[in-house]
Structure 1
């Protein structure tokens, strides 16, 4: 028996001939097998989908990311948009958000876990009171079935409340200074865009580990962890010398008050450091001083001011402040920052180092050293 193919539907020759010789469409349909019908439907839908340009959501998102990357490259060539507007940062934030969605990263608001035990218990009560209500009304409505019906409805509402609207809004209101505005809303999607925008605004390397703020963050982390030697490696020689001089001045009742001897001790400690007999006592006192001054500070919850503050050649002032769960904020006018720390950073031979943890100028060596802060208690005993 010969076979012909018509529109992906295989039919015997005799059936085609009988149809062409006057067979009815109904008779023709009776001889079509299910597989042939399915193939025909798939062929038609595939052709229609191709003509209409129907693509999957994932493919559309990939294409959109690809197009936005090309657009970002074009925007980088426009000096006005690149240097004077946040347009490039906005687009990069959009790309980051789309990539997060494409890779299946959770970007929804954090949610409370569903109390499964309570849901199961409420479901049992719902079924029990619902069945009781149905049984009471099996022969007709009775008014006292409203009680069991209300209990069943309350269980349903309880289940609905435990399984919906579980988003946990960030409580950032009490973590920001007065007059500050949060960078992002409660939407994690906007947080992604904000983080990319902030990265673009601070693309000069100050937040890198070797940058001004990065070194300040590392200094705080080492000092709060009691790692004094590691913290000292992030400070310049003048700062360490002044810290040793301040410690010797405060301990002169035990180490002696002869300035020549204190100077010799300072020079020896600067050279030998941990090999000096006084180094352990000095480092322990310093760690205790900084930990007491900073209090319960969490290095992981710190942020830095985004605007660069240059005070002299090779000297920058950086501001570090606790952010809590706010993720960052901005201010439109001079605003006191609660818990803020100010550090003077010194660019020495291409490396940023801590120069002063108190004042806005390098400390001046001496006995006692000058930290350029008002009402320094170490100056009270000096003669006018």
Structure 2
């Protein structure tokens, strides 16, 4: 697979106080830059200035071991060029895992000479985006092999492919060893229960994981898949956002997650959209809210919690002090259920967004927002 380590976009913005070695007069300066010395790029020449402005962007497709960006500033003379100064940016230290670098880079002074000045550089590291890529299990294996010992990518997007349990197993090998990845998106694949197990196990084994966002929407993981993720959440200290909407986890899956939420201290967003969760599942999640102190967003649109489920959440809101957004649209909630929640809002002042505006029976309801 080409460009396995993503794309680097480098903007050479400007320079200031540039001095060539004879330090006489002004420069006709340009910058030469590369990550691989066999492929060098350069800016245009800024005429007659020691404070030139270029604002020019360059793209590099990174390969393995492309760990440094080299910068050379020259003064363009009629008969050649004079060196103004050189610098090297350690991409591992300053860019990979961070995404963006924006700073002035000093051009080291030589012994006996004044400072050579500095240049303003912006670096953006782009991620692996293979959404809608017709990727199945075989392709996932090749990708996983290419990403072995990945130390660069912070985000991977495999949305809308045909990755099954076997493909998830291959990708879990990457997840198990990664120390930089913070977002994994596998929305709309077919990893199933086993795939969820592979991913959860990999994250549990990786004590150096940085993963904060996991999107498994529409993957047929079911209640057992939710159990594997719940087991992970019980001890995980990095994940802040999980989306497992459209996965048919049902009341049993909600119960598993409820137990995990009472132990987890880092998750802030949980999306359970369209998961066949009924009154029983709502009750379990409500109990979790009574004890959880970190969750800020809970999305339950398109389930079947009904009025009794709304009452369970209303009771929980009287005790919970951290939830800010509760989405229970399209849940068959009657007017009484809305009233339960409205009464609870008199006590729960942290909730700023209560979403009820679809298929709320007996009244024209909208989104409630507190200030």
The answer to whether the superposition gives a TM-score over 0.5 is no
Q: Pick the structure with more helix per residue.
A: 1
Q: Which protein shows a greater Rg? A: 1
- Structure holding more strand per residue: 2
The normalised TM-score by structure 2 is: 0.21
Flag the structure with more relative contact order, 1 or 2, with Cα contacts below 8 A and sequence separation at least 6. 1
The alignment's TM-score, normalised by the length of structure 1, stands at 0.21
